[in-house]
């Protein structure tokens, strides 16, 4: 194995390979900052950093442990349903529309050719006679 841990094609190190959640990257430095001239005691700053990271990671792990599998199952069902509807309902419906609209397009073209084209040709011939 190379640098990344892979299990059945699942990359356990890079869990966002398509970068869909980069907006959620939030580190201690992104939330808390002390400008020059306003500094807390160093041990308070270090413990704040440790507490922030510990609680952020711990709370996330507890929430994913309690809810993650059920939510992933629900999203799996949602996307299965969407796939089902697209495959079994929308695709045949669009094919039906393609067939019927093609027939209607052909019939419309015939009507235009039979009814409107002679009038346009006659009008064109009338104006063709006018010359400067």
Q: What is the pLDDT of residue 49?
A: 96
Q: Which positions ≥6 away from 45 have C-beta within 8 Å?
A: 34, 39
Q: Which positions ≥6 away from 13 have C-beta within 8 Å?
A: 3, 4, 5
Structural domain boundaries in the chain = 40-126
Residue ranges of alpha helices (H) inside the chain are 28-31, 42-63, 69-85, 91-111, 117-128
pTM (two decimals): 0.61
Give tens-digit pLDDT for 27-82: 999 899 999 999 999 999 999 999 999 999 999 999 999 999 999 999 999 999 99
Q: Cα-flanking dihedrals φ and ψ of residue 34, to 5°? A: -110, 120
């Amino acid at each position: 194995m190379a640098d990344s841990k892979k299990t059945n094609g699942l990359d356990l190190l890079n869990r966002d390979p398509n970068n869909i959640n980069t907006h959620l990257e939030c580190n201690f430095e992104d939330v808390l900052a002390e400008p020059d001239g306003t500094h807390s005691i160093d041990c308070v700053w270090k413990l704040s950093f440790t507490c922030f990271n510990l609680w952020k990671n711990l709370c996330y792990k507890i929430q994913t442990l309690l809810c993650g599998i059920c939510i992933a199952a629900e999203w799996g069902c949602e996307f299965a349903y969407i796939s089902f509807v697209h495959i079994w309902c929308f695709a045949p419906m669009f094919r039906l529309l393609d067939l019927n609209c093609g027939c209607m397009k052909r019939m419309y073209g015939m009507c235009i050719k039979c009814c409107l084209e002679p009038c346009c040709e006659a009008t064109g011939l009338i104006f063709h006679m006018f010359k400067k």
